[in-house]
């Protein structure tokens, strides 16, 4: 992952001295890859299917290796975004929570889908965050082979580092295809993980409020 300071959008109204002191350029977040070779991935997918005894000679399966390659390339390619923050001028000190953020990633052990939702919240410090960026951060870390425990902690740690809030909480609930479609075949089961930092970890009232609002306390 590469993080670039990106100039803020130009304003037509001049900044006063106080605004100049608090203005902060957006952080450009870009996922670096070693390069994607779709042709090589397609050839490998064809050999993979062939090794499993699945012929791609028919009209309906002829394009499957290419579709597989493009599908996984899409799954592993998060969109770049600007982490825009704003001064917390009103001194807002209550929980900010985005619930039911879609999560889709793949298990790094079987490369099978993990699908669920994330609840991401924070207690603001001197800055507040554009709400859509909470979903962007989840997507950024989900677009790679993952384990749910790591994904949960990566989102929380990253927000704690770059936003510097008083507390951060992340709860993810997801269904793992590697558990529901194969192996134990525990259809309908889901896995829940959480990471709490700062006040949301140390203060019982704040922790309880966050977990109750996410549904994790039930």
CA distance 218 to 209: 12
The count of other CB atoms within 10 Å of the CB of residue 155 is: 25
CA distance 149 to 100: 18
CA distance 107 to 109: 5
CA 204 vs CA 23, 92, 95: distances in Å? 34, 20, 14
The dihedral sign for the CA sequence 182, 174, 156, 208 = negative
Write down the catalytic residue from 148, 154, 173, 209: 148
The dihedral sign for the CA sequence 74, 77, 79, 85 = positive
Write down the catalytic residue from 3, 19, 108, 149: 108
Write down the catalytic residue from 119, 140, 176, 209: 176
* DSSP β-bridge partners for residue 172: 118, 193
Q: Is 178 a catalytic residue?
A: yes
Write down the catalytic residue from 107, 160, 164, 175: 107
Residue pointed to by tokens 């889908």: 113
* DSSP β-bridge partners for residue 117: 102, 173
Residue pointed to by tokens 């993980």: 193
CA distance 129 to 35: 31
Q: Is 109 a catalytic residue?
A: yes
- Which residues form the catalytic set? 107-110, 148, 176, 178
């Amino acid at each position: 992952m590469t993080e670039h300071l990106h100039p803020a959008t130009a304003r037509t109204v001049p900044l006063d001295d106080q605004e100049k002191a608090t203005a902060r350029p957006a952080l450009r977040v870009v996922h670096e890859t070693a390069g994607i070779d779709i042709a090589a991935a397609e050839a490998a997918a064809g050999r993979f299917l062939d090794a499993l005894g699945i012929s791609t000679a028919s009209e309906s399966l002829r394009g499957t290796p290419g579709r597989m390659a493009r599908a996984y390339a899409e799954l592993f390619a998060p969109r770049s975004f600007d982490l825009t923050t704003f001064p917390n001028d009103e001194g807002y000190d209550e929980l900010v929570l985005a619930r039911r953020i879609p999560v889709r990633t793949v298990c790094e052990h079987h490369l099978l889908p993990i699908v669920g939702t994330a609840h991401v919240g924070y207690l603001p410090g001197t800055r507040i965050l554009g709400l859509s960026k909470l979903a962007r951060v989840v997507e950024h870390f989900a677009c790679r082979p993952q384990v749910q425990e790591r994904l949960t902690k990566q989102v929380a740690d990253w927000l704690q580092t770059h936003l510097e809030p008083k507390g951060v909480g992340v709860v993810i609930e997801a269904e793992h295809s590697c558990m529901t479609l194969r192996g134990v075949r525990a259809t309908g089961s889901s896995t829940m993980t959480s990471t709490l930092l700062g006040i949301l970890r140390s203060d019982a009232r704040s922790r309880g409020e966050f977990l109750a609002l996410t549904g994790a306390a039930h």
